[in-house]
Each structure stands twice: as structure tokens, then as C-alpha cells.
Amino acid sequence: MKLNENKKLVEDVKKIMSDNGINSSYYNDDQFVKSFIDVFDKTLEKRKAESLQKLVDKQDNKKAQNWSSYIKSAIKTGLESPTPYKVIPYKNGIGIKKIELL
């Protein structure tokens, strides 16, 4: 939702500003309203990006905890890559010991 697409929200913000004693010359100025809308939209986009990053971080943590599927994925990727390589995991199955080019 973009702020400039929601006229009621803009009116609510103006009402809150007037209720708190902010001079009407500030919030009736078109330049102020435009800059307020820009700041609101940028803040909203930043919050969305942060929540998306948190989701990606959670998924990355799951990959690190599940070594067997990670190693299988690495082996498959290595064999299918343009420069094929072999992934050699540790004997205990946690981590990659080395990578050899084929």
C-alpha cells in the first residue's frame, strides 16, 4: 500500500498533526505532503525488505542445520556445473572436507 494511494490515511495524518498543535501551514503545504508521502513509502519499503531478509536468514539457518541435504545439494551442483567438481564431506557428515575438480 502506497500512502499517496490512500487519501483517507493522508487526511488522518493531517488531523493528528492539527490535534497536536502543529501549525496548519506545514501540513497544508503540498511540498510537505509530498515529502511526507515519500518518507512513508520509503519506510514501508525498508520494513518489507527487512522482513524479507529475516525470512531469508531463517531459511539459511535451516540449511546450515541440515548438513545431509546441503551436502547432497552441493554434490549435485558440482556435477552439473560447467566446470564439474566433486564435493568430499567429512566422515561424520557435518561439513565439506574438500572440493576436487574433475
pLDDT tens per residue, range 21-75: 776 666 666 777 777 777 777 777 888 888 777 777 776 655 556 788 888 888 8
How many whole angstroms separate alpha carbon 65 and alpha carbon 50? 23
Check the CA dihedral 79-83-88-94 and report its sign. Answer: negative
- Summarised one tens digit per residue, pLDDT across range 9-25 is 777 777 777 777 776 66
Q: β-pairing, 96-101 with 85-89?
A: antiparallel
Residue 98 gets the label, from left (phi > 0), alpha (psi -120 to 50) or beta, of: beta
**Number of residues that this document lists for the chain:** 102
**In this structure, what DSSP letter does residue 80 have?**
H
Task: State the Cα–Cα distance between residues 95 and 102, nearest whole angstrom.
Answer: 20
Residue 60, all three cell numbers? 539459511
Where are the chain's structural domains? 1-65, 66-102
User: pTM score > 0.85 for this model?
Assistant: no
